[in-house]
Amino acid sequence: MGRRPRPCRCVAGDEPAVTLRRKLLLAFSATVFLCVLTVTWIVLTTTRRAFERLNEQQTEALIAQFRREFKRRGDEVMNKVTNIARNDSSARMAAAASTSSRDYAQFVGDAKDIADTQQLDFLEFADADGTIISSAQWPAKFGYKENDVPTTGPETNQSFLRREGLPDGSALSLSAIRRVEAGSAVLYVIGGRRIDRSFIASLEVPAGVRTILYQNLTPEFSRELLIDSSGEVARGEALEGVVRHVQIDRQEITQRVHWSSDSVDDEDIYAIPLSGHRGELLAVLLIGNSRRPYVEFSQRIQLAAMIVAGSGILLAILFSSWVAARVTQPVEQLAAAAREVAEGNLNTQVEVHSADEIGELADTFNRMTREILEKRELLVQSERVAAWRDVARRLAHELKNPLFPLQLTVENLVRARELSPEEFDEVFRESASTLLAEIANLKAIVSRFSEFSKMPKPQYQSVDINELVENVMRLFQAQFAAGSIECRVELTANVHTIAADPDMLHRAVSNLVLNAIDAMPTGGTLRVSTRQDRGRAMITISDTGQGLTSQERLQLFTPYYTTKKHGTGLGLAIVQSVVSDHGGKVTVQSEPGQGATFIIDVPDGLEKLPRENASGSNYSMRGESGA
Amino acid sequence: MRRFVSALVVFSSLIQVAPCLGGTRPRYGGTLRVNMQAALVSLDPADANSADPVALDEISHLLFDTLVRLDGRGNPAPGLASTWRSDSGYQRWSFTLRNNVRLSDGTILTPQIATASLRSVNPDWRLVASDDGITIEVSSACPQLPMQIALTRNSIVQRDSGRLLGSGPFTLSSWQPGKHLILKAREDYWKGRPFLDEIDVDLNRNLREQTISLDLGKVDLIDLAPGQSQRTTSEGRATVSSWTNQLLCLVFRNGNPSEDEQKLREALALSVDRKALASVILQGDGTPAGSILPNWQSGYAFLFAPSYDLRRARELRDEVHLVTAWSLGYNGTDPSSRLLAERIALNAQDAGLRLQTSMTPNPDIRLERILITSPDTHVALDDVARQLGLPMPKLTGASTEDAYQMEKALLESRRIIPLLHVPANHALAGNVHGWSSQWDGGLGLADVWLGTSRP
């Protein structure tokens, strides 16, 4: 606890990584959202099905009611027509109509009077051949034929739908017909009630349901022929499709009608064809079931679902944040600790608060860092001992060479003094000269060691690596021209400048070129190339010499290690030191007999430059030291 | 004239008012309550735009007199003029005014008043007032001038600041145009005071209301629509009918029809089953007509005998590629008028013609009932043409042949299709007595008196 996890960067790129906490948060939120969505869908589906069931039940009940009402009205009409037919006046009319004179004059107004008395909207008397004697609805029609009189068949005992011709058009009626026989005279009584607004209004329908009647009186659809309990149907043209379907198919259909762009106004229309006794389509009964209750209920459910979902997601975020924090905090601490370890801070520990898997992981991590620390101490100690041993061996080796001539010269002087005093002076002069030379040699060795230990820190400037390489190669130009080494310089065009110490980098590249030349005593090809990639600059020096063994590759950058007869073993160490001081690395690729390739890989490090040196190359060579 | 006299005999036989057939002494006093279907808004007898000229004619007889009146046989008789004579060319007529005739405000009727009254109605006449009468000069020979003078529109009226003053047996006591009027008997009437004290007239009453009122004893006299008289009589009510002095006809709004339009109009005329109209709808209260004037009046009407020829009507219709839909207007307050119109439309439909009954103000065709105002053929034709707004053919003479040619020209204008000649019918209460035979079937209320008991 106490360590705050640092933002982690994705290794593969710069895109922000999704943390475990966010993943958990998203997972919790998605789960809650999906749950609410599923519940809402289930509720909506169930509601819709329930509504549709209710709708079907209402429609069926209404149809049954309409049929009952239709039959009841039909029975009423039948009773009234029967009463009229049984009346003496009908018998007299029948008798009068059967005479040869057929005097309709005395009866022309009778139908109207009787219809008024019997509260019938339509009433006609027709003689045996269907000639109208008297008509209530169209008094002027006397003498004309009535097509609905069943002159060739038995009369029907049931009421039927009928289209009534009127002076100003036609109307729909629920009619009945009765035959009156007075001796040989026959009279038909045809009476009916108009199916109109009042008929529709008499049907009791539940709230949200309405009945509309389309009177199929003209071949073309006309919205004026639509009537409901309030009269003419507003925007009746929307029902044209339903009516047309029924007109064509003569079957019951259900269709949804959109009265406006608002789905609340939608209505499910159940259309029933109503035919006359000859099968002709006379009307279409439209039972409209408003979808307003369902849509409003559905909208309320959706609103509630949205509120619940929103609240749920909010709560889920809060809860999952808390849970995720509880779950991920130890992991994040472990991750932060691992990053510190990766950065070299092996003395990193995480606090263990639980005994679960996370706790065990933290404990294991602590144990691991402790062991690494201990091992590293041991390793450092052993490496330090080995280094001192190596230095001692190198010093012994370096110092042994000049000391041995010194010893021989001193012993030669002692012997010359004892054996031939006369030649002592001459021997003394020669020995003194030898002693001075070897002492100078010893001083030179000490000086080089001193120089390695005093490597300066880089003074960063803006450096063009192509220019730097060209300057290095220019130093060896005469050597290449005189020898058998072919030099190939391959520089990548348009490289950007980097931040580097030009002298130190020049020295490192020079050392590698010199090493390559030394590796090809019998000639070969030297390749030097430059490259830049993703903010890093790379200089590659390849030779076609004898190559390196794996053991040599491992020890190559160890100070004072050399495979050359006259080398100090500090050249490549200096190269590694320079490159390392620039934040880069130097690598070698080599196999025995196949030459070697050294790659200097340094970051451009432009942020290390002073602002005035951020652009342009300030490269200039201060001097050169050999490897 | 013999035909006319015989027709009068028939008319007299139609008067079925038993209580008035003698045996009862006339008495003065009482108010006669009358219901009329008409909604008169003007009582001016010269009002050519009156919606109901029959009613106007009847009321005018009570308020105004003419210089010449027609007696029960339709012959000219002295009215406000005691005598008249003409020159040999029948162009200059002199009328001598009766003395001491007073208008309803008490002023003496003068030749100047009579001249002014006639001039307002007949601007073509040259009228000169003399000391004892007036002289009328017309542009061409007019032997029927006394018959024209006897027309109601030529009643002598003094128009004084909107007031109408006449010399009739009654004076206007109360007047609500279109609703109600009360006529009060004049004590100083030149022919003697009428028996009735007052006549109370309710206007604009529909026929059903009138019948109910008569049955309830609330009214003494009502109108009957054509076709109602037979049923009314069969129900035991007293009725009175004139002879067929009204013409039921179709009148086209537009004149000068094209050749195709003429064929269609002829097809319409042929498609109408007039017999069914007369016998069924009007219950025999009419006779099919192919002429404007009835045969009893003109003597030549059989030459225009109506024909019902549906086949020919269809042929004429098929000859025309013109699709015409006519609107047929009728008097909405008269139930028989509606029934007649619907039947005509139905007949026209059989001939392939489109005719739709309508209550629009200006229909293509109107079903009209025209009053034949004069027993004289020429005068009657002239007046019918005037009532219908038809151009009057030029008179060439006073003979029957001339009248025939004139009527033929009127019919060939295709503006009018005669349908039926019908009588005027009234029903009256049992206490109404003293009907006198008017030539035109008018009420003749000036001579009516009321019995003591009401039914």
Whether A364 shows a pLDDT value over 50: the answer reads yes
Q: How many distinct structural domains can be found in chain A?
A: 4
Contact B346 A168 (CB under 8 A): no
pLDDT band at B350 (very low <50, low <70, confident <90, very high): very high
* Cβ-based burial of B90 (10 A; exposed 0-12, middle 13-18, buried ≥19): middle
Q: How far is B277 from chain A (nearest CA, A)?
A: 9
Residue B280 DSSP label: I
User: Is there a single domain that holds both residue A162 and residue A243?
Assistant: no
User: Is there a single domain that holds both residue A263 and residue A150?
Assistant: no
User: Is there a single domain that holds both residue A479 and residue A584?
Assistant: yes
DSSP string for A399-417: HHHHHHHHHHHHHHHHHHH
Buried b (16+ CB within 10 A) or exposed e, B231-266: ebbeeebbbbbbbbbbbbbbbbeeeebeeebbbbbb
pLDDT band at B156 (very low <50, low <70, confident <90, very high): very high
Who among A105, A140, A168 is closest to B343 (CB)?
A: A140
On chain B, the residues whose CB falls within 8 A of the CB of A146 are none
User: Is there a single domain that holds both residue A209 and residue A189?
Assistant: no
| Residue B165 neighbours by CB distance under 10 Å | 23
User: Is there a single domain that holds both residue A430 and residue A482?
Assistant: no
Q: Does B339 reach chain A within 8 Å, measured CB to CB?
A: yes
Contact B342 A104 (CB under 8 A): no
> Where is pLDDT greater, at A20 or B1?
A20
Query: Is the Cβ–Cβ distance between B399 and B211 less than 8 Å?
Result: no
Kindly state the average pLDDT of the residues A398-408.
79
Kindly state the average pLDDT of the residues A36-61.
81
CATH value at residue A174: 3.30.450.20
- The letter for the amino acid at A11 is V
Who among B273, B280, B346 is closest to A108 (CB)?
A: B280
Contact A168 B357 (CB under 8 A): yes
Is A315 within the bounds of a domain? Answer: no
Q: How far is A104 from chain B (nearest CA, A)?
A: 6
Residue B15: its pLDDT value, please? Answer: 43
User: Is there a single domain that holds both residue A97 and residue A231?
Assistant: no
Is A438 within the bounds of a domain? Answer: yes
Buried b (16+ CB within 10 A) or exposed e, B373-383: bbbbbbbbbbb
CA quadruple A601, A607, A610, A612: dihedral positive or negative?
positive
* Pick among A101, A108, A116 to test the B interface (most B CBs inside 10 A): A108
Chain B residue at shortest CA distance from A135: B339
For chain B, what's the residue count? 455
Kindly state the average pLDDT of the residues A421-436.
85
Residue B102 DSSP label: B
Chain B residue at shortest CA distance from A104: B280
Chain A residue at shortest CA distance from B231: A106
On chain A, the residues whose CB falls within 8 A of the CB of B357 are 167-168
Virtual CA dihedral for B336, B338, B343, B349, nearest 10 degrees? 170
> Where is pLDDT greater, at B2 or B332?
B332
User: Is there a single domain that holds both residue A412 and residue A519?
Assistant: no
| Residue A333 neighbours by CB distance under 10 Å | 22
Pick from B166, B224, B218, B173: which is nearest to B199 by CA? B173
Residue B129: its pLDDT value, please? Answer: 94
- The letter for the amino acid at A218 is T
Q: How far is A100 from chain B (nearest CA, A)?
A: 16
**Alpha helices (H) along B223-334:** 229-234, 259-271, 274-276, 295-298, 310-319
On chain A, the residues whose CB falls within 8 A of the CB of B276 are 142-143
* Pick among A106, A107, A110, A125 to test the B interface (most B CBs inside 10 A): A106
* Cβ-based burial of B140 (10 A; exposed 0-12, middle 13-18, buried ≥19): exposed
Q: How far is B309 from chain A (nearest CA, A)?
A: 16
Quick one: three-class SS letters along A535-576?
CEEEEEEEECCCCCCHHHHHHCCCCCCCCCCCCCCCHHHHHH
Whether B52 shows a pLDDT value over 70: the answer reads yes
Helices then strands, each counted (H, E), chain B: 13, 23
Whether A16 shows a pLDDT value over 80: the answer reads no
Contact B342 A167 (CB under 8 A): yes
Residue B284: its pLDDT value, please? Answer: 84
Residue A14: its pLDDT value, please? Answer: 47
Q: Does B346 reach chain A within 8 Å, measured CB to CB?
A: yes
Whether B70 shows a pLDDT value over 90: the answer reads no
Whether A539 shows a pLDDT value over 90: the answer reads yes
User: Is there a single domain that holds both residue A418 and residue A504?
Assistant: no
Is A422 within the bounds of a domain? Answer: yes
Q: Say what percent of chain A tops pLDDT 90.
A: 10
* Cβ-based burial of A7 (10 A; exposed 0-12, middle 13-18, buried ≥19): exposed
pLDDT band at A9 (very low <50, low <70, confident <90, very high): very low
Chain B residue at shortest CA distance from A134: B280
On chain B, the residues whose CB falls within 8 A of the CB of A167 are 342, 345-346, 357
pLDDT band at A618 (very low <50, low <70, confident <90, very high): low
CATH value at residue A545: 3.30.565.10
Chain centroid, CA B19 distance in Å: 27
Chain A residue at shortest CA distance from B356: A168
Pick from B309, B57, B29: which is nearest to B196 by CA? B29
Residue B11: its pLDDT value, please? Answer: 45
DSSP string for A254-267: EEEE-SSSSGGG-E
Contact B357 A139 (CB under 8 A): no
| Residue A466 neighbours by CB distance under 10 Å | 22
Pick from A253, A270, A131: which is nearest to A190 by CA? A131
On chain A, the residues whose CB falls within 8 A of the CB of B232 are none
Domains of chain B: 1-64+168-237+425-455 (3.40.190.10), 65-167 (3.40.190.10), 246-422 (3.10.105.10)
Chain A residue at shortest CA distance from B350: A144
Whether A1 shows a pLDDT value over 80: the answer reads no
A221: tokens are: 């659809």
Q: Which of A253, A270, A290 is the last residue of a domain?
A: A290
* Cβ-based burial of A510 (10 A; exposed 0-12, middle 13-18, buried ≥19): buried
pLDDT tens per residue across span B399-418: 888 889 889 988 988 899 99
Q: How far is A143 from chain B (nearest CA, A)?
A: 9
Contact B280 A104 (CB under 8 A): yes
Q: Mutual orientation of helices A571-581 and A502-519 as an angle, nearest 10°?
A: 150
Q: Does B358 reach chain A within 8 Å, measured CB to CB?
A: no
Size of interface A-B (CB pairs under 8 A): 33
Contact B276 A142 (CB under 8 A): yes
Who among B273, B280, B345 is closest to A167 (CB)?
A: B345
Who among A105, A140, A142 is closest to B284 (CB)?
A: A105
Q: Which of A259, A290, A321 is the last residue of a domain?
A: A290
Residue B327: its pLDDT value, please? Answer: 93
> Where is pLDDT greater, at B245 or B167?
B167
pTM of the model: 0.62
Who among B283, B339, B345 is closest to A139 (CB)?
A: B339
Tokens 């300066």 — which residue? Answer: A456
Residue B64: its pLDDT value, please? Answer: 94
Residue A45: its pLDDT value, please? Answer: 86
Average pLDDT of chain A is: 81
Residue B116: its pLDDT value, please? Answer: 94
Is A325 within the bounds of a domain? Answer: no
Angstrom CA distances, B404 to B318, B400, B407, B409, stand at 31, 6, 5, 8
State how beta strands A267-275 and B287-288 pair: unpaired
Residue A17: its pLDDT value, please? Answer: 63
- The letter for the amino acid at A25 is L
DSSP string for A609-621: S-GGGSSS-----
On chain A, the residues whose CB falls within 8 A of the CB of B280 are 104-105, 108, 142-143
Pick from B357, B321, B360: which is nearest to B342 by CA? B357
Whether A3 shows a pLDDT value over 50: the answer reads no
Residues of chain A whose beta carbon is less than 8 angstroms from a beta carbon of chain B are 103-106, 108, 138-144, 167-168
> Can you tell me whether residue A448 is helix, strand or coil?
helix
- What phi and psi values does residue B182 have, to the nearest 5 degrees? -125, 130
Contact B346 A140 (CB under 8 A): yes
Whether A227 shows a pLDDT value over 90: the answer reads no
Kindly state the average pLDDT of the residues A309-338.
81
Whether B12 shows a pLDDT value over 50: the answer reads no
d(CA A255, CA A291): 12
pLDDT band at B438 (very low <50, low <70, confident <90, very high): low
On chain B, the residues whose CB falls within 8 A of the CB of A106 are 283
Query: Is the Cβ–Cβ distance between B427 and B236 less than 8 Å?
Result: no
> Where is pLDDT greater, at B344 or A551?
B344
pLDDT band at B14 (very low <50, low <70, confident <90, very high): very low
Is A217 within the bounds of a domain? Answer: yes
pLDDT band at A156 (very low <50, low <70, confident <90, very high): low
Query: Is the Cβ–Cβ distance between B341 and B330 less than 8 Å?
Result: yes
Q: How far is B227 from chain A (nearest CA, A)?
A: 10
Q: Say what percent of chain B tops pLDDT 70.
A: 92
Contact A168 B339 (CB under 8 A): no
User: Is there a single domain that holds both residue A471 and residue A521?
Assistant: yes
Is A43 within the bounds of a domain? Answer: no
Is A448 within the bounds of a domain? Answer: yes
Buried b (16+ CB within 10 A) or exposed e, A46-73: eeeeebeeebeebbeebbeebeeebeeb
A94-103, A493-502, B253-262, range with the lowest pLDDT: A94-103
User: Is there a single domain that holds both residue A581 and residue A481?
Assistant: yes
DSSP string for A461-497: EEE-HHHHHHHHHHHTHHHHHHSSEEEEEEPPTTPPP
pLDDT tens per residue across span A248-293: 888 888 888 888 888 888 888 889 898 887 788 888 988 888 888 8
d(CA A28, CA B168): 112
Contact A138 B279 (CB under 8 A): no
Query: Is the Cβ–Cβ distance between A272 and A259 less than 8 Å?
Result: no
pLDDT band at A469 (very low <50, low <70, confident <90, very high): very high
Whether B76 shows a pLDDT value over 80: the answer reads yes
Who among B283, B342, B356 is closest to A140 (CB)?
A: B342
Whether A152 shows a pLDDT value over 70: the answer reads no
A8-22, A68-82, A220-234, A338-352, range with the lowest pLDDT: A8-22
Q: Does B409 reach chain A within 8 Å, measured CB to CB?
A: no
Is A427 within the bounds of a domain? Answer: yes
Whether A197 shows a pLDDT value over 90: the answer reads no
pLDDT tens per residue across span A598-611: 999 999 887 777 76
pLDDT band at B1 (very low <50, low <70, confident <90, very high): very low
Who among A105, A138, A167 is closest to B280 (CB)?
A: A105
Kindly state the average pLDDT of the residues B320-343.
86
| Residue A472 neighbours by CB distance under 10 Å | 25
Q: Which of A253, A269, A290 is the last residue of a domain?
A: A290
pLDDT tens per residue across span A54-107: 878 877 887 787 788 888 888 989 999 999 988 888 888 888 777 766 677 778
On chain B, the residues whose CB falls within 8 A of the CB of A104 are 280
User: Is there a single domain that holds both residue A495 and residue A605?
Assistant: yes
User: Is there a single domain that holds both residue A98 and residue A239?
Assistant: no
B279: tokens are: 């016998």
Q: Which residue range forms the structural domain that includes residue A140?
A: 87-195
Whether B5 shows a pLDDT value over 70: the answer reads no
Counting other chains too, the contacts that B4-7 makes at CB distance below 8 Å and 24 or more residues apart are B4/B73, B4/B74, B4/B296, B4/B297, B4/B375, B5/B73, B6/B296, B7/B243, B7/B296, B7/B297
On chain A, the residues whose CB falls within 8 A of the CB of B273 are 143
State how beta strands B198-202 and B31-35 pair: parallel
On chain A, the residues whose CB falls within 8 A of the CB of B284 are 105
Kindly state the average pLDDT of the residues A402-429.
84
pLDDT band at A538 (very low <50, low <70, confident <90, very high): very high
pLDDT band at A563 (very low <50, low <70, confident <90, very high): confident
Residue A107: its pLDDT value, please? Answer: 83
Kindly state the average pLDDT of the residues A460-467.
90
> Where is pLDDT greater, at B90 or A453?
B90
* Pick among B232, B277, B280, B358 to test the A interface (most A CBs inside 10 A): B280
